[in-house]
């Protein structure tokens, strides 16, 4: 059981920066997920924590021990790979026993532990089988048992479910979560799959191009994204660029007025912004309500547009609305889905939840500089 | 939270460099025994004979020390020129024979035949050594041996067949045939069969498909095969000795043995070796230039 | 003897073929296929013919009767030669293995400059004519290393000549081994040494065996370099065959020895194929 701390951790390959001065603290017993698109540096970070890759700079600490330069075998970690990586020439039992036998444990103790681990992952009796005789899901469970057998202080998961099919993924991710809770071990999990991250994490680090864009709980990053990347990467979002044109009220009633594409939008978003600052107003499709005649008084913002397309998805219907040259997506669920089935004509949209994020200076996405703006990681 | 880290960052860079250097050193240490073996028992000896080739006879041993001259090379290109030519002739002919018969064999093997492993098992026989092939052939072709009735029927005196150029070339070709076939076969198996089908659909006849599609694509395998076959055959002496007439027995490898080991004319035999090496590497050089590095995959 | 034709893919028809024409084309294709197979078999028979005739000859006794005493000869008078062949081959295999394993591992897993050049340098012996290796080693053994009377001179000459055959299959096997196994072992607490012996070595077993087999059959049957380099008291079996044929001509006993050598070699190859198949020999260009 251990805390993990990364201080200014970085990795570059020649001119390419894979991980840029990452600061991160993982609490004891927490399951923290590194979430991001491929190439964002999450796997590199994980492998540096494991010791499989040497950092170009920075520090890694487990509790208060500096492990930055320790080889993997000295860190007492458990690493679960994308492929189960079970040693094909060893039986299930000997695979699980491997970590203990290389340390010279006594056979009786090893056997007991193997049984214990098999029971833990629900594979009692499979000890004598060979890896090739197991299904993908079973192999991954044996891989779990194998890393847990050595009682590591930190568990590291490198997209362990991406090689499995859909249904297996769903059941296995909850097994992983349960195991982590039961053993109480600190875990760092890497994935590009948002639903996986949301299902099991205590906190999530959204990464992009080697940097941490935001660290927070699921609700934090979903409802209060701090950078354009997070706003757009997590779930779907409409981004309306505009300029701050005014500030109203104070305290709970404070509103920022944004002028965007000929509309004036009111946002409750508490962003320190001066008049004239460029911002992007983000609006989630499910927060847009398609209004019928007479409705709208409950909403601070009501805009009009022309329906371009309606996509009926089953539980939801997606409306693509042209609001003065830009396209807005609105998701309707429930009874109202069928109201606009014909997909034509003018429509009024109402919304309250508008998140404002400072626009990047001139780069199309992500933050510039050292990420010292809203994307600064929380301690 | 993190303290200001300019100092640790600097030492990180140094640490990274130190570790990379260590890894390089360990790597080199692991290869060192192999390098030692090859340098001590191949490269150094070869440089030794290059030096030796410029000494006269066994003067290296003499108390006055070695006499240096290029006389050995003069001899190579005058008195022993026929030997060089015969060696080239034998190796060249067997290479051509191997190419001619080996390419179709490899093609059929790779494209058509299902019992490939069985064929491979049979193909190891030549690999056991040219010696047994030559021995076996000599037995077959001996007057009074099994082939004599056949030759009598054809009206050829069997002695003419036994100790002759064709039988030496034949034996050499048989020995190196698997090398050629395997190199070509490996290259052929990387050629998509649908390319040949596409060519046929476009109207190409078999010869055209071969010349314009197969040959260019299997070039590296053909080159590797030629290299291997030629290299082996310029250095062999079992076939020429056991199956050849006086002419073939002048193959350089045997002359080398006679002069070098039996008559201890170290200078001359070294010069012969150098000539052999130069020939072998000239062939390699030109072939590799043509094939874009077939051997180092 | 005609070279086997490459089977011609059917030419595109200008019009729909009539039944007669179709039948003709089908049989012509089948004929070509048959010719192809016949060619293969013809060549294979040519390969095996010397062996078979020697086999037949080795059973002839005086007066043209069938006899197996020639093989008793093999175990008796030639026994020492056979024993030397096995001994030299065994020592060569050990040296090759001990030298090739770390070299292969370094080439595949460690970073250092000039790897391709190094690999070429290590596999070059295969392309140097045997006589050149022979004479150069004779000279060096006489003047520098003073190895003329030891079996090690012969063994090391064999080792350098067959080293590429040991190295290449092991390198190929290592390249094919996913690195994730070693990473998993490292994370589980194993040292590099433990990882190598408990995980890597078992998993490259087939590659190692391929190297062993190839080296064995080459060294076991080697006579060319042996002729140059062997210490006077040591005569391996193939060298004995060569000397006998050259001096005493053909004799059934010599044939018996040659046959025995080939049978042992063939047995080793069959054993390997049985256990591992031919997959692990790719890249050696020998089989």
Rounded to an integer, the average pLDDT of C242-265 is 84
- On whether residue C8 sits in a domain, the answer given is no
Regarding whether C33 and C105 lie in a shared domain, the answer is no
| Residue percentage of chain B with pLDDT more than 70 | 84
Rounded to an integer, the average pLDDT of C47-65 is 74
Is the confidence at residue C275, as pLDDT, over 50?
yes
- Calpha distance A185→A28 (Å, rounded): 7
Regarding whether C174 and C95 lie in a shared domain, the answer is yes
- Calpha distance B236→C156 (Å, rounded): 20
A12 CB within 8 Å of a chain B CB: no
* CA A322 from centre of chain: 31
Asked if B2 lies within 8 A of A8 by C-beta distance, the reply is yes
Q: Residue B291 has what pLDDT?
A: 59
> Considering chain A, what is the average pLDDT of its residues?
88
When pLDDT is cut at 50, 70 and 90, the band that residue A362 belongs to is: low
- On whether residue A323 sits in a domain, the answer given is yes
Polymer length of chain B: 297
Q: Residue A134 has what pLDDT?
A: 94
- On whether residue A169 sits in a domain, the answer given is yes
In angstroms, the separation between the Cα of residue A102 and the nearest Cα of chain C is 6
Asked if B2 lies within 8 A of A7 by C-beta distance, the reply is yes
- On whether residue A363 sits in a domain, the answer given is no
- On whether residue A366 sits in a domain, the answer given is no
Regarding whether C246 and C130 lie in a shared domain, the answer is yes
Residues of A in contact with C183 (CB under 8 A): 52, 72, 79, 81, 85
Q: What pairing do the DSSP bridges indicate for beta strands A154-158 and A186-191?
A: parallel
Is the confidence at residue B87, as pLDDT, over 50?
yes
- Calpha distance A5→A3 (Å, rounded): 7
ipTM attached to this prediction = 0.84
Regarding whether C210 and C277 lie in a shared domain, the answer is yes
| Residue pLDDT, tens place only, C147-177 | 788 899 999 999 999 999 899 889 989 999 9
User: How many structural domains compose chain A?
Assistant: 2
Q: Residue A249 has what pLDDT?
A: 80
Is the confidence at residue B7, as pLDDT, over 50?
no
Averaging pLDDT over each range in A247-261, C90-104, C112-126, which range is the top one? C90-104
In angstroms, the separation between the Cα of residue B4 and the nearest Cα of chain C is 31
For residue B114, give the chain C residue with the closest CA: C37
Rounded to an integer, the average pLDDT of A219-248 is 91
Regarding whether A163 and A253 lie in a shared domain, the answer is no
Q: Cβ contacts of residue C219 below 8 Å, gap of 6+?
A: C88, C89, C92, C93, C158, C162
Regarding whether C33 and C143 lie in a shared domain, the answer is no
Residue A305 near residue A349, CB atoms below 8 Å:
yes
Show the tokens assigned to C2: 């005609």
When pLDDT is cut at 50, 70 and 90, the band that residue B250 belongs to is: confident
The helix/strand/coil state of A25 is strand
- On whether residue A341 sits in a domain, the answer given is yes
Regarding whether C123 and C229 lie in a shared domain, the answer is yes
Domain boundary among A168, A189, A223: A223
Which domains occur in chain B, in start order?
Answer: 73-291 (1.10.3720.10)
B5 CB within 8 Å of a chain A CB: yes
Rounded to an integer, the average pLDDT of A232-239 is 92
- On whether residue C257 sits in a domain, the answer given is yes
Rounded to an integer, the average pLDDT of C265-286 is 70
Most B CBs within 10 A among C8, C43, C48, C286, hence the mutation to make, goes to: C43
Comparing A200-204, C20-24, C38-42, C271-275, the range with the smallest average pLDDT is C20-24
Comparing A8-17, A343-352, C65-74, the range with the smallest average pLDDT is C65-74
Polymer length of chain C: 287
In order of A78, A103, C262, the CA distances from A106 in angstroms are: 21, 9, 50
Q: Residue A364 has what pLDDT?
A: 43
Place of tokens 């020592």: C91
Report the phi/psi class of residue A12: left, alpha or beta, with left for phi > 0 and alpha for psi in -120 to 50. beta
C189 CB within 8 Å of a chain A CB: yes
Is the confidence at residue C208, as pLDDT, over 70?
yes
In angstroms, the separation between the Cα of residue A265 and the nearest Cα of chain C is 53
Comparing A14-18, A21-25, A71-75, B51-55, the range with the smallest average pLDDT is B51-55
Residues of A in contact with C111 (CB under 8 A): none
Regarding whether A288 and A257 lie in a shared domain, the answer is yes
Averaging pLDDT over each range in A15-24, B45-54, C206-215, C248-257, which range is the top one? A15-24
Q: Residue A365 has what pLDDT?
A: 37
DSSP output for chain C: -PPPPPPPPPPPPSSPPPHHHHHHHHHHHHHHHHHHHHHHHHHHHHHHHHHHHHHHHHTB-GGG-B-SHHHHHHHTTTHHHHHHHHHHHHHHHHHHHHHHHHHHHHHHHS--TTHHHHHHHHHGGGGS-HHHHHHHHHHHIIIII--TTSHHHHHHHHHHHHHHHHHHHHHHHHHHS-THHHHHHHHTT--HHHHIIIIIHHHTHHHHHHHHHHHHHHHHT--HHHHHH--TT---HHHHHHHHHHHH---HHHHHHHHHHHHHHHHHHHHHHHHH-SGGGTTSS--
In angstroms, the separation between the Cα of residue A78 and the nearest Cα of chain C is 6
Regarding whether A251 and A192 lie in a shared domain, the answer is no
Q: Residue A324 has what pLDDT?
A: 81
Show the tokens assigned to A187: 């875990």
Q: Residue A275 has what pLDDT?
A: 84
User: How many structural domains compose chain C?
Assistant: 2
- On whether residue C213 sits in a domain, the answer given is yes
Range of the domain at A278: 238-358
Q: Residue A198 has what pLDDT?
A: 95
Regarding whether A198 and A246 lie in a shared domain, the answer is no
- On whether residue C10 sits in a domain, the answer given is no
Q: Which of residues 68-97 of C touch B (CB under 8 A)?
A: 95
Q: Residue C15 has what pLDDT?
A: 54
Domain boundary among A190, A223, A256: A223
- On whether residue A271 sits in a domain, the answer given is yes
User: Maximum CA pair distance of chain B?
Assistant: 101
Regarding whether A341 and A285 lie in a shared domain, the answer is yes
Burial class (CB in 10 A: 0-12, 13-18, 19+), B245: middle
When pLDDT is cut at 50, 70 and 90, the band that residue A176 belongs to is: very high
Averaging pLDDT over each range in A337-341, C2-6, C31-35, which range is the top one? C31-35
- On whether residue C40 sits in a domain, the answer given is yes
In angstroms, the separation between the Cα of residue A27 and the nearest Cα of chain B is 13
Instruction: Write b or e for each residue in B138-170: b if 16 or more Cβ atoms lie within 10 A of its Cβ, otherwise e.
Output: bbbbbeebebbeebeeeeeebeebbbbbebbbb
Residues of B in contact with C103 (CB under 8 A): 30-31, 33-34
Regarding whether C274 and C233 lie in a shared domain, the answer is yes
The helix/strand/coil state of A338 is helix
Is the confidence at residue B297, as pLDDT, over 50?
no
Regarding whether C86 and C43 lie in a shared domain, the answer is no
HSE-up of residue A374 (Cα within 13 Å, Cβ side): 24
Regarding whether C131 and C256 lie in a shared domain, the answer is yes
Q: What is the pTM of this model?
A: 0.83
Angle at C257 (CA atoms; ends C134, C278), nearest 5 degrees: 75
Rounded to an integer, the average pLDDT of C191-197 is 94
A58 CB within 8 Å of a chain B CB: yes
Regarding whether C237 and C111 lie in a shared domain, the answer is yes
- In the 8-state DSSP scheme, what is residue A52? S
Rounded to an integer, the average pLDDT of B254-259 is 85
A299 CB within 8 Å of a chain C CB: no
Rounded to an integer, the average pLDDT of B243-264 is 82
Instruction: Write b or e for each residue in A151-167: b if 16 or more Cβ atoms lie within 10 A of its Cβ, otherwise e.
Output: ebbbbbbbbbbeebeee
- On whether residue C272 sits in a domain, the answer given is yes
Q: What pairing do the DSSP bridges indicate for beta strands A16-26 and A4-13?
A: antiparallel
> Considering chain C, what is the average pLDDT of its residues?
82
What CATH number should be reported for the domain holding residue A349? 2.40.50.100
| Residue pLDDT, tens place only, B182-217 | 888 888 888 888 888 888 888 888 788 788 888 888
Residue closest to A260 by CA, chosen among A373, A356, A365, A360: A356
Is the confidence at residue A367, as pLDDT, over 50?
no
Q: Residue B163 has what pLDDT?
A: 78
Regarding whether A172 and A103 lie in a shared domain, the answer is yes
- Calpha distance A160→A81 (Å, rounded): 6
Range of the domain at C40: 18-48
What CATH number should be reported for the domain holding residue A102? 3.40.50.300
Residue B132 near residue C54, CB atoms below 8 Å:
yes
Regarding whether A206 and A352 lie in a shared domain, the answer is no
Regarding whether A247 and A162 lie in a shared domain, the answer is no
Going across the sheet that includes A263-267, the strands are A263-267, A255-260, A238-248, A278-283, A355-358
DSSP output for chain B: -PPP-HHHHHHHHHHHHHHHHHHHHHHHHHHHHHHHHHIIIIIHHHHHHHHHTTB-TTTTTSTT-PPB-SHHHHHHHTTTHHHHHHHHHHHHHHHHHHHHHHHHHHHHHHHT-S-HHHHHHHHHHHHT-HHHHHHHHHHHHSTTSTTHHHHHHHT--HHHHHSSHHHHHHHHHHHHHHHHHHHHHHHHHTS-HHHHHHHHHTT--HHHHIIIIIHHHTHHHHHHHHHHHHHHHHT--HHHHHH--TTGGG-HHHHHHIIIIIS--HHHHHHHHHHHHHHHHHHHHHHHHHHTSSS--
Regarding whether C249 and C121 lie in a shared domain, the answer is yes
- On whether residue C214 sits in a domain, the answer given is yes
In angstroms, the separation between the Cα of residue C175 and the nearest Cα of chain B is 12
What does residue A6 show for φ and ψ, rounded to 5 degrees? Answer: -110, 130
Burial class (CB in 10 A: 0-12, 13-18, 19+), C242: buried
- On whether residue C11 sits in a domain, the answer given is no
Regarding whether A181 and A59 lie in a shared domain, the answer is yes
What CATH number should be reported for the domain holding residue C236? 1.10.3720.10
Q: Which of residues 124-163 of C touch B (CB under 8 A)?
A: 124-140, 143-144, 156-157, 159-160, 163
Q: Residue C5 has what pLDDT?
A: 42
- Calpha distance B74→B123 (Å, rounded): 42
- Calpha distance A123→A121 (Å, rounded): 6
Q: Residue B153 has what pLDDT?
A: 72
- On whether residue A158 sits in a domain, the answer given is yes
Q: Which of residues 165-184 of C touch B (CB under 8 A)?
A: 167
Comparing A139-153, A344-358, C67-81, the range with the smallest average pLDDT is C67-81
Asked if B16 lies within 8 A of A7 by C-beta distance, the reply is no
Of A8, A23, A54, the CB nearest to B9: A8
* CA C237 from centre of chain: 17
| Residue pLDDT, tens place only, A132-172 | 999 989 999 999 999 999 999 999 999 999 888 888 898 89
Regarding whether A289 and A150 lie in a shared domain, the answer is no
When pLDDT is cut at 50, 70 and 90, the band that residue B222 belongs to is: confident
For residue C204, give the chain A residue with the closest CA: A89
Regarding whether A308 and A248 lie in a shared domain, the answer is yes
Regarding whether A286 and A161 lie in a shared domain, the answer is no
Regarding whether C215 and C112 lie in a shared domain, the answer is yes
C51 CB within 8 Å of a chain B CB: yes
């Amino acid at each position: 059981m251990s805390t993990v701390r990364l201080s200014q951790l970085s990795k570059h390959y020649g001119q390419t920066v894979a991980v840029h001065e990452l600061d991160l603290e993982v609490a004891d017993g927490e399951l923290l997920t590194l979430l991001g698109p491929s190439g964002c540096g999450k796997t590199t970070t994980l492998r540096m924590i494991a010791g499989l890759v040497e950092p170009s700079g920075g520090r890694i600490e487990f509790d208060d021990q500096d492990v930055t330069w320790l080889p993997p075998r000295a860190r007492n970690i458990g690493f679960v790979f994308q492929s189960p990586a079970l040693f094909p020439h060893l039986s299930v039992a000997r695979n699980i026993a491997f970590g203990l036998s290389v340390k010279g444990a006594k056979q009786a103790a090893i056997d007991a532990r193997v049984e214990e681990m098999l029971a833990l992952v629900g594979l009692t009796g499979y000890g004598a089988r060979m890896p090739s005789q197991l299904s993908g899901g079973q192999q991954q469970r044996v891989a779990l048992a194998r890393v847990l057998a050595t009682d590591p202080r930190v568990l590291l998961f490198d997209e362990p479910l991406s090689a499995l099919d859909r249904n297996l993924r769903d059941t296995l991710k909850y097994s992983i979560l349960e195991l982590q809770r039961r053993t109480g071990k600190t875990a760092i999990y890497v994935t590009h799959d948002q639903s996986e991250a949301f299902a099991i994490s205590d906190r999530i680090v959204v990464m992009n191009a080697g940097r941490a864009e935001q660290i927070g709980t699921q609700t934090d990053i979903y409802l209060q994204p701090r950078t354009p990347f997070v706003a757009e990467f997590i779930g779907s979002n409409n981004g309306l660029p505009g300029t701050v044109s005014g500030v109203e009220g104070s305290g709970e009633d404070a509103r920022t007025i944004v002028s965007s594409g000929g509309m004036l939008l009111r946002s409750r978003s508490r962003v320190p912004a001066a008049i004239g600052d460029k911002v992007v107003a983000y609006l989630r499709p499910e927060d847009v309500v398609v209004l019928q005649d007479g409705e709208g008084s409950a909403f601070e913002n009501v805009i009009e547009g022309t329906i371009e397309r309606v996509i009926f998805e089953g539980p939801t219907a997606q409306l693509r609305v042209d609001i003065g040259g830009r396209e807005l997506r609105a998701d309707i669920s429930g009874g109202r889905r069928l109201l606009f089935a014909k997909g034509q004509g003018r429509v009024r949209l109402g919304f309250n939840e508008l998140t404002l994020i400072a626009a990047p200076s001139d780069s199309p996405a992500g933050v510039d500089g050292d990420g010292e703006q809203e994307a600064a990681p929380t301690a | 939270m993190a303290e200001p880290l300019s100092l640790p960052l600097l030492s990180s860079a140094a640490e990274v460099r130190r570790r990379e250097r260590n890894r390089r050193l360990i790597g080199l240490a692991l290869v060192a025994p192999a390098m030692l073996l090859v340098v001590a028992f191949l490269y150094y000896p070869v440089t030794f004979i290059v030096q030796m080739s410029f000494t006269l006879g066994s003067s290296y041993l003499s108390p006055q020390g070695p006499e240096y001259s290029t006389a050995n090379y003069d001899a190579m290109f005058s008195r022993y020129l026929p030997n060089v030519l015969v060696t080239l002739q034998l190796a060249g002919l067997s290479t051509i024979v191997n190419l001619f018969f080996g390419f179709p064999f490899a093609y059929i093997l790779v494209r058509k035949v299902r019992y490939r492993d069985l064929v491979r098992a049979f193909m190891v026989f030549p690999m056991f050594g040219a010696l047994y092939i030559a021995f076996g052939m000599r037995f077959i072709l001996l007057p009074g041996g099994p082939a004599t009735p056949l030759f009598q029927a054809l009206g050829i005196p069997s002695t003419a067949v036994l100790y002759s150029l064709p039988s030496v070339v034949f034996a050499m070709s048989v020995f190196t045939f698997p090398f050629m076939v395997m190199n070509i076969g490996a290259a052929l198996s990387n050629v998509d069969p649908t390319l040949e089908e596409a060519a046929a659909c476009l109207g190409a006849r078999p010869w055209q498909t071969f010349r314009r599609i197969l040959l260019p694509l299997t070039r590296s395998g053909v080159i590797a095969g030629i290299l291997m076959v030629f290299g082996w055959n310029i250095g062999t002496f079992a076939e020429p000795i056991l199956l050849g007439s006086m002419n073939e027995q002048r193959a350089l490898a045997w002359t080398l043995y006679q002069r070098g080991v039996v008559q201890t004319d170290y200078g001359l035999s070294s010069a012969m070796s150098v000539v052999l090496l130069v020939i072998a590497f000239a062939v390699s050089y030109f072939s590799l230039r043509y094939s874009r590095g077939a051997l180092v995959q | 003897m005609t070279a086997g034709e490459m089977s011609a893919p059917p030419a595109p028809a200008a019009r729909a073929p009539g039944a007669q024409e179709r039948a003709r084309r089908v049989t012509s294709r089948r004929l070509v296929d048959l010719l192809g197979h016949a060619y293969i078999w013809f060549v294979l028979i040519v390969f095996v013919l010397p062996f078979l005739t020697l086999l037949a000859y080795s059973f002839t006794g005086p007066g043209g009767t069938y006899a197996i005493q020639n093989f008793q000869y093999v175990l008796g008078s030639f026994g020492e030669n056979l024993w030397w062949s096995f001994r030299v081959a065994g020592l060569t295999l050990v040296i090759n293995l001990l030298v090739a394993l770390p070299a292969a591992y370094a080439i595949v897993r460690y970073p250092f400059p000039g790897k391709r050049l190094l690999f070429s340098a290590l596999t070059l012996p295969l392309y140097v004519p045997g006589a050149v290796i022979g004479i150069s080693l004779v000279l060096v053994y006489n003047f520098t290393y003073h190895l003329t009377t030891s079996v090690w001179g012969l063994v090391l000459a064999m080792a350098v000549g067959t080293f590429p055959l040991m190295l290449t299959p092991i390198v190929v096997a290592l390249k094919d081994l996913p690195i994730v196994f070693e990473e998993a072992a490292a994370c589980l607490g194993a040292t590099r040494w433990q990882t190598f012996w408990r995980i890597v070595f078992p998993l490259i077993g087939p590659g190692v065996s391929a190297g062993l087999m190839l080296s064995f059959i080459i060294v076991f049957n080697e006579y060319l370099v042996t002729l140059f380099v062997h210490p006077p008291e040591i005569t391996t079996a193939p060298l004995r065959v060569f000397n006998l044929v050259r001096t005493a001509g053909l004799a059934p006993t010599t044939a018996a020895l040659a046959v025995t050598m080939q049978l042992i070699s063939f047995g080793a190859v069959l054993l390997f194929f049985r256990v591992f198949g031919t997959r692990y020999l790719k890249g050696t260009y020998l089989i």
